[in-house]
Structure 1
Amino acid sequence: MSGPSRWRFNPVVLDRDPPALELVSKLLHLHFRDEKTKVGGDALQLMAELLRIFVVEAAVRGVRQAQAEDVTLVDIDQLEKVLPQLLLDF
C-alpha cells in the first residue's frame, strides 16, 4: 500500500448513542424465544461494541480485498470474499 489511504473511518460511540443502543436492543430481542427476556445495560453496551468492531473489521477487510484486486470501490463482491474468514475469526 503506497501513499496515504483515502479510506477514513469515523466510528460511532455506541454507548453514548441512544438510537444505536435501541437498534441493538431490538435486534437482540428479535432472536429471543421468550419475549419477557431482558438485556441489562452493560450487556447491551457490550453487544453494541462487538457489533461496531465487527462492522469496522468487515469494512477494513473489504478495503484490503479491493486494494488487492486493484479496484477503487468496495462492493458486495469484496465483502463476500472476506466474510467466511471474518465469521471464523469472530
Structure 2
Amino acid sequence: MSQQSASFKPKTVSSVLKLHLKNEKVTVKKRPLCLVTELMRIFSKEALTRAADQAKNEGDSQVTLEHFEKILPQLLLDM
C-alpha cells in the first residue's frame, strides 16, 4: 500500500474562509492561504493519528466517529 500525504486544495480552503468572512470584499492573499491550508492539513493529520491511537487502545481495527468524539476535546485544547 503506498502512503500518500493528505492535502487540501487552496481553492477549497479559500471558499470555506469566504463563507465565514463578514465582508464579501475581503480577499485572502496567496501566502496566508497557503499557511491556512497547511494548518488544516496538520490539524487533520493529528486528529486522524489520535483517533487511530484511540481505536488501537480500545482493541478496534477500524476508526469510528466515537473514536473522534473521544479525542476531540483534548485535540482542541492542544491546538
Shorter-chain TM-score bucket reads over 0.9
- Asked whether 1:11 is paired with 2:5, we answer yes
Q: 1:79 to 1:42 in 2, by over 3 A?
A: same
1:77 is matched by which residue type in structure 2? E
Match of 1:78 in 2: 67
Question: Structure 1 residue 61: deviation in Å?
Answer: 0.1
- Going from structure 1 to structure 2, the CA distance change for 1:54 and 1:35 (only over 3 Å counts) comes to same
* Percent pairwise identity: 40
TM-score, length-normalised on structure 1? 0.81
Distance 2:15 2:7 in 1: 18
1:37 is aligned to 26
Map 1:61-76 onto structure 2 (within 5 A): 61-76=50-65
Greater than 2 Å deviation, 4+ residue runs: none
**If the length of structure 2 is used for normalisation, what is the TM-score?**
0.92
CA 12–64 in structure 1, closer or farther in 2 if over 3 Å, else same: closer
CA displacement at 1:42 relative to structure 2 = 0.3
Stretches of structure 1 that go unaligned for 5 or more consecutive residues are 1-7, 15-19
**1:76 and 1:9, CA in 2 relative to 1: closer, same or farther beyond 3 A?**
farther
